[in-house]
Amino acid sequence: MKVTLDGREYGIDPSAAIETSHRLSGSSVIDLAMTAGTNHPVGPLALADRIGLDTVLAICEVLHQDLGDPKFCPCPLLRRYVEIGRLGKKSGRGFYGYTEAGAQTASHAGHAEAGA
């Protein structure tokens, strides 16, 4: 799936959220792999935080329902984050934390943080 932001197209891969939910690696590791390995300007989880996790969830739900492709099935962690109000940058916390000025802080380690 591609999203246009600031005149550029970015890919959003729900599998990155799934990987985080399974505690294979933290958000910053996934984002670093994508920025360093594919030369993307921002990783998929940081981008999801910018877009809003509620919006990403809604997009994944529509794509999963309309296309029937299991790769778009939202992972439980994404659903949980939205349920508890961790919507990304706009709420101050998503896959990453954010200061009041909007600066990104340390990543969260995934599933273990879902209840926080």
Q: How far apart are CA 54 and CA 41, in angstroms?
A: 22
Question: Which residues on neighbouring strands pair with residue 45, listed in sequence order?
Answer: none
Q: Which amino acid does the sequence have at 84?
A: I
**Full-prediction pTM beyond 0.85?**
no
Q: How far apart are CA 78 and CA 89, in angstroms?
A: 14
Nearest Cα residue to 46 out of 4, 105, 100:
105
Per-residue pLDDT averaged across 21-34, rounded?
A: 72
Q: How far apart are CA 96 and CA 81, in angstroms?
A: 11
> Taking the domain 2-113, which CATH number applies?
1.10.1040.10
Q: How far apart are CA 106 and CA 81, in angstroms?
A: 16
The mean of the pLDDT values for the chain is: 78
Q: Give the pLDDT of residue 65.
A: 94
Instruction: Answer yes or no: is pLDDT of 53 > 50.
Output: yes
Instruction: Answer yes or no: is pLDDT of 47 > 50.
Output: yes
Q: Give the pLDDT of residue 33.
A: 81
